[in-house]
Amino acid sequence: MLMLQWLGPPTSAQTPTLKNIELCNDRDRTSHYPQIDGCTALIESGNQSPEVLAKAYNNRGNHYTRNGEYDRAIQDYDQSIKINPNYPKAFNNRGVAYQKKDEYERATKDFDEAIKLKPDYSIAFVNRAETYQKRGDYDRAAEDYDESIRLQPTLQDALSGRCWFRAVLGDLERALVDCNEALRLEPNVAFTFESRGFTYLRMGQWDLAFDDYSSALRLEPHLASSLYGRGLAALKNGDATRGNADIAAAKSIKAKIADEFAHYGLQ
């Protein structure tokens, strides 16, 4: 799961624009348009420091990324980097947007730059690891996951990502160790339940896979991969009605989801 980096809390010198800073920095609401408006107000106010402007462009880019508007996000990250060429968060986040567009080489270059600027940037190592994985460069992916956890042993996203990566490679027992630790650190993360469900699915433990995918879906009801995985687990357990319903729902969200699972030998 790719990780965006956000603007920090406002300082006392920024109190006249506190409301817009709080809006711009709010990443928890369902709709991102109020947050985009807050960032835009900061950008267009004409009285912000270069530091605040770079962060406002970065945050607006993050909201666009989370809305799936990757080209608009990249334009904002470009502006953030133009204002502050030494801002590692903007490089990391632009890398996320490029990775979402399947532009893996450009994504990798941005993660490289983020790490060059901040060598202990554990989140950028996680994001680069996922990008290497998608490029099929598993050795480098393994190195980056290990480095991110060395730098920050309690980084839940790194453990969850390495769990998924190990499960893909068939290193199932060690995958479970990572997922269990990630869930101990943060017990309500859909992606981690999904990763562990995938691990159980590859292990042939259908009931446990079904339960974990169900937990993921309670947190995020429209995850195509969790619906499809739960459908497969139900079919393997002989529940054709439930299984076919979940698989149909998954395909309605993501048409090629069956191909993704077949790539891992699951069908």
**pLDDT digit string (tens) for 176-208?**
999 999 999 999 999 999 999 999 999 999 999
At the topology level of CATH, where does 188-267 sit? 1.25.40
Confidence of residue 10 (pLDDT cuts 50, 70, 90): very low
CB 182 within 8 A of CB 159: yes
Per residue in 135-163, pLDDT tens?
A: 999 999 999 999 999 999 999 999 999 99
Give the whole-angstrom CA distance, residue 260 versus residue 204. Answer: 18
Residue 8 pLDDT: 54
Mean of all residue pLDDT scores within the chain: 89
Give the whole-angstrom CA distance, residue 267 versus residue 251. Answer: 13
Structure tokens at 237: 């357990």
Domains 1-118 and 188-267 fall in the same CATH topology: yes
Q: Model's pTM, two decimal places?
A: 0.82
CB 88 within 8 A of CB 101: no
Cβ neighbours of residue 5 closer than 8 Å, sequence gap 6 or more: 58, 62, 89, 92, 93, 123
CATH class of 1-118: mainly alpha
Structural domain boundaries in the chain: 1-118, 188-267
CB 89 within 8 A of CB 58: yes
> Comparing C-alpha atoms, which of 155, 240, 229 is closest to residue 198?
229
Asked if pLDDT for residue 265 goes beyond 90, the answer is no
Residue 31 pLDDT: 59
